[in-house]
Structure 1
């Protein structure tokens, strides 16, 4: 009750003593307790909207606060819950008239795709007169973990400014704070996964020149993240977005994490199974070199249209295959030996033996220059 009262007070929505039913109805809604009696009818539509705003904001903030106000006491090994009202100020939704008015600047055209907890639309920004992509997330339907992913993605996209990472244009709310809208740079060419599906369906492969062209841009995007101390943790074809002119950029930073200078290793197991580094399955943690492993898997799939450690039988069998680094070699007549050698370097079991992202980008630049100068594959190895 104490925490709920603070939330009401902090948002300037103090419950009056002569209207106790409002407070109890919100508590019942948060705890899932059915109301024994129907509350009094509100006098006007304005009062209804005001109450909906309070309940929506309270339910969202309450779930976020329950997760983030828990702090670990390393000395005694227990969880202590913060009670200071300042702990919750970071997670408050801004429902000012200026923020709500931003929704009127967008005209929605069509649905571009639907994820686990969001839907992406193609939209037109009437204020700036240009197309954008708007990701809509219904906050009231999300779990605490999914709410944290949304907040994390916005925070990291604001921190990274690179032509090789999908740019965050704006974020605002609709429906009195129940729907979060994230306006992103429009990538009208789909994603790399769609390009690979097209090649699979037509029985074709990327030429090696195209492989290095895309790989260089992916390396530049990952370099921008690592320079900002950001670990992507979910690098895969579906998170490489394409433009109409063939350029590609990294996106979907929901699983990413910013690592402090004093943090040696991260231990949270997350990502897409086919692209996860072997150390993620271990107990000692992982660092930036785990992204290099995913980068090698991505390069391999661009050449073969299949992940290097594809396994359908079970997760245990997939884990055994990844931790032993068993993969099928590339097609020798179609690709140079250098690309197979470079994949081997990225897929080293010992993360310290893998190249850095700077070395990966340098190699991609060199190979691009080789193919642009029309040097034959036989001359590459001299």
Structure 2
């Protein structure tokens, strides 16, 4: 009796295997298709691993080169799906466009080859999947991290536009996160050459929630359509849902035509509101250019990390504002409780707590205690609230770094002499983002 064992990733099988649950001769054996794919031009063999995603024409798999162990993302397009000549032309256009692109924030094209039944495009493997996968875990993104994503995307878009290309399908699922937590633009299947306004393409293409009004109305579209889609991406990162999403597709299209998205929440910073309003302008001529976006206050004011934190790949969803307030109250109750006359009494500055929780909105609190007694460089706060430095004052305070999304990081100085709280805006954004998250 011969049984077929499914190979694990990294342990390729040796070709076609015959499988049968009964002795040979009782039942006709049936072939099991091999996971090994061979490039007929070079003879290189590749082992197909897990499915990463799928679209209308193609499926994307992890694929390992057997000889070197290198990993790729392989876009596999079955020939049976290419039923019309324009389908084949589309694939060839994608290959010709993508193979000459080399930029830090564009997914790298490695090579392509054809087998008897498929066209296979090998691309750079982005280990942390896409922004769509990330947002399913986090629900919303803090403004500093959204700035990081936007900056990466803008740099990649600048490169594409400078080479006369319009992406036309910018969305979270096509923005991938590398092993170094950098955002890269991928899936150039709908990318097209930039043309003069009078001869621009009028094809309706893209994803409904991210379509620009001029694309939907077949007015001819150019790089301004990418700016609109980028505005939809920014809105989705900060709010947690696309701006024009609805249950009815016609309602979505109606909202896009009139640029009618839900009011921006007041918890967004003024610069974020300003940039979103500018990018989601109905008339393409009034939208900012990529250069203007890069110099906008939202991108230039406030801390912007060089890359996304590695913890993003495993953190739980962001709690709601109600949860934040409840957590904050419990944290302060635990910190300020003391026993007097055999009874526990809680003394805290309730007004400061409520204001602190209200201003944080949907923010997440991530605390880790840190003693100041052994560190001569830590900032200390005396009972009057004055900031003192170093060991010249007795270590009467303990500091807890606190990370609030959309705001500057703070340190809470908790005086042991009095049940008082002081908020000291004394640590940099970088210290919290990269040190305490």
TM-score by length of 2: 0.58
What pairs with 1:1-382 in structure 2 (closer than 5 Å)? Answer: 100-102=40-42, 104-144=44-84, 145-175=86-116, 178-200=117-139, 205-260=140-195, 264-315=199-250, 317-333=251-267, 335-363=268-296, 366-367=299-300, 370-371=303-304
Q: Deviations over 1:320-354 (max 9, x none)?
A: 21111111233323x31111110000011111110
Matched-pair contact (CA < 8 Å) for 1:112–1:120 = yes
How far apart, in 1, do the equivalents of 2:158 and 2:299 lie? 16
How far apart, in 2, do the equivalents of 1:186 and 1:372 lie? 23
Matched-pair contact (CA < 8 Å) for 1:310–1:318 = yes
Distance 1:186 1:331, change over 3 A: same
- Shift in Å, 1:117: 1.8
Q: Higher helix proportion, which one? A: 1
Q: 3-state DSSP class of the match of 1:159?
A: coil
**Structure 1 gap ranges (5+):** 1-97
- Shift in Å, 1:183: 0.5
Q: Higher strand proportion, which one? A: 2
Matched-pair contact (CA < 8 Å) for 2:40–2:115 = yes
Matched-pair contact (CA < 8 Å) for 1:255–1:271 = yes
How far apart, in 2, do the equivalents of 1:280 and 1:305 lie? 24
How far apart, in 2, do the equivalents of 1:313 and 1:365 lie? 33
Q: Deviations over 1:14-52 (max 9, x none)?
A: xxxxxxxxxxxxxxxxxxxxxxxxxxxxxxxxxxxxxxx
Larger RCO, structure (CA 8 Å, separation 6 or more) = 1
Distance 1:103 1:311, change over 3 A: farther
- CA RMSD across the alignment: 2.7
How far apart, in 1, do the equivalents of 2:158 and 2:70 lie? 29
How far apart, in 2, do the equivalents of 1:372 and 1:219 lie? 15
Bigger Rg, which one = 2
Q: What is the total number of aligned residue pairs between the two structures?
A: 274
TM-score by length of 1: 0.66
Matched-pair contact (CA < 8 Å) for 1:135–1:183 = yes
How far apart, in 1, do the equivalents of 2:66 and 2:297 lie? 40
